Every structure is written in C-alpha cells, then in structure tokens.
Amino acid sequence: MKVDISTKIAGVQLESCIFNTAGPADVTLDELEIIAKSKSSAITMKSCTLAPREGNPQPRYADLEFGSINSMGLPNLGYKAYVKFSKILAKKYKKPVIASISGLSLEDNVTIFKAFNDSPVDIIEFNPGSPNTIGKPIVGYDVEEMDRLLDAVSKICQKPWGVKLPPYFDLVHYDQIANVLKKYPINFITCINSIGNGLAIDPYKEKTLIKPKGGLGGIGGKYVKFAALANVRTFYELLGAKIQIIGVGGIYTGINAFEFILAGASAVQIGTAFLQKGPKIFETVQNELKEFMQDKGYKKLADFKGKLKVAS
C-alpha cells in the first residue's frame, strides 16, 4: 500500500508534512543548504531582524536529558541576507522556502515584510515572540500588541503567511488570542514556540547551564510535547477550518508526528531533535510516520487528521 504524507500549507504543496522549524541551525547559507539537501520538505530560515545581530552571550544553548534550553537572542544576518538566500535556495533546490520574521518593532516588521514580498519565498512565518530578547516581553502574551502587529503586517503581506505562537496554558488566553487571529487573513499558526524562561542547573558546578538572563531560557524537546499538543488541539477546535495549524515541540519520532496530526496539525516542524540528531531526523520521522500509518491502514493524512477521540 502506498502511503502519502504530502500536505498543503497555505496553498503551497509540500512533498511531506515534516520540515525544520526556525531555530539555531538555520542561520547561515551553509546551514540552510544542509536542510535543502535533507528530506525536510521545506527550508525554514532563521527568524530575522532588520539589522544583523550577534545574539546573547555564550553559553546560550544546552542539550538537556529530554530536550534543550536556549537563549540565543536572535542571532541572525539581518533580513537582507535572507532575501538573498531565498533567491539562491529557490533557484538551486525544488523546495518551498519559508521566511521567519521577528522584527523588533512594528516599523521593522513592516519593512521586512515588504522586502520578502519581492522575494521568491513561498511562505512567511511571522514570529513576533522570541522569549529571549533581553528587555522585551513575549509578544504573544500581550493580546493588544498582537492585534496591533497583525493589523499592520496583514495590510502589507502579499505572500501566504502565518504566525508562530508561544504556548498558552489558560483556556481564557486561548479564546482571547483566537479572537484576534480570526480578524485577519492568516493562513496558519505554528504551535508552539519554546516554553519561555525555564531554568536548567548543573548541580555539580552549582551553576546555570546558560548565561543570558541569569540562566533563564526557552525549553524545547520532549519536555514540551504535551503543552504543544494541547495548543494544537485547542486552537484546532477554536479556529476550525479557516486557519491551519503547524505543530512543533518534542517531535523525535514518526509516532510523535502522528500524534500532532491526530490532534489537528496539517504539518509538523522539528527543532531540538534536528539539533541533536542531525539532518537524517527528517527521513527517520518520515519513514516511521509512513510505517505507523501503514500498520493502521491509513493512506493519507486526511484519514486521521484532527480525529482525536476523548477517553471514555
């Protein structure tokens, strides 16, 4: 039986539903070419700002037993570099290219969106909420600020686009954000960004594992999978068919990917597992997902997408 794990995000065809998330390993052209040559079905580029940034002081990333902690601080080459990279990647590889925009102000975001309108990127992911920019709050937790930003960029953006969200934990907050999202022509949301401001400690050295913000950083990997699934599921129920969902958070295996799609995701991204296992993770997760679907008699994602049942 042939198993089809292709998907469409914002009308863009993807050969599989599995690709990289915007993160620490997609900053340089060399890193992006590693993703281009892997089985990742799209090439997501690092979240970019107006000007290039060095990011936060080192150490700023650490592997943990079941995931990772990071406070990179948006190290990136500036949006002009990613506009240029998108031209190179689109010409050289037959894969959708995704820009991730993290401007530090409304004006910066508008400038960057305009520049990507005139680029060959296929999709734009707006990421207003890095948890690690020192002195900046996580925007996704400020409903009014989200409304202001989405209003501005939705007037500018001429590409298929979506928004990457932080994890929510309270049902009232889901409702508030869903009501803002529904006001704008957003094609998808990506759930979740890392869980902000965790603290990882080395008990032997009696020190934090990373330096910025007194050791606080975004948690990713297996620790966050349950929060990620809850966000995918809850937004799937709140947003209906109008806005697609890309799931991310703790996906290491094909069965993990299956769980996200069952909860309502149309695609999944891989972050920490890509950093820890290298680019072969995309092929591994693809093959495992196909195998699991085959065992269950599913031929395509639509056979089970969103069809999660509640325990009885």
Query: 194 vs 244, which CB is nearer to ligand DHB?
Result: 194
Contact status, residue 196 vs residue 218, Cβ threshold 8 Å:
yes
Residue 130 in the binding site for ligand DHB (CB under 6 A): yes
- What is the DSSP code (8-state) at residue 132? T
Shortest CB 76 distance to ligand DHB, Å:
8
Task: For residue 151, give both structure tokens.
Answer: 């209003």
Residue 47 in the binding site for ligand DHB (CB under 6 A): yes
By CB atoms closer than 10 A (0-12, 13-18, 19+), residue 106 is middle
Part of the chain binding ligand DHB (CB under 6 A), chosen from 128-136, 175-183, 236-244, 257-265: 128-136
Given its phi and psi angles, is residue 130 left (phi above 0), alpha (psi -120 to 50 degrees) or beta?
A: beta
Neighbouring residues of 280: CB distance < 8 A, sequence distance ≥ 6: 38
Task: For residue 230, give both structure tokens.
Answer: 């809850």
Short-list 202, 184, 252, CA closest to 69: 202
The only residue of 38, 68, 193, 266 in contact with ligand DHB, by rule CB under 6 A: 193
Q: Distance (Å, rounded) from C-alpha 121 to C-alpha 12?
A: 11
| Contacting ligand DHB within 82-121 (CB under 6 A) | 102
Residue 218 in the binding site for ligand DHB (CB under 6 A): yes
> DSSP assignment of 181-232, as one string?
HTTS---EEEE---EEEEE-EETTTTEESS-GGGGEEEEEEGGGHHHHHHHH
Query: 73 vs 279, which CB is nearer to ligand DHB?
Result: 73
The only residue of 44, 68, 127, 231 in contact with ligand DHB, by rule CB under 6 A: 127
Q: How far apart are the first and last CA of the chain?
A: 32
Query: 112 vs 262, which CB is nearer to ligand DHB?
Result: 112
Shortest CB 185 distance to ligand DHB, Å:
23
Residue 271 in the binding site for ligand DHB (CB under 6 A): no
Residue 210 in the binding site for ligand DHB (CB under 6 A): no
Shortest CB 231 distance to ligand DHB, Å:
14
Shortest CB 243 distance to ligand DHB, Å:
19
Residue 249 in the binding site for ligand DHB (CB under 6 A): no
| Contacting ligand DHB within 65-84 (CB under 6 A) | 70-74
Residue 40 in the binding site for ligand DHB (CB under 6 A): no
What residues line the site for ligand DHB (CB under 6 A)? 47, 70-74, 102, 127, 130-132, 193-194, 218
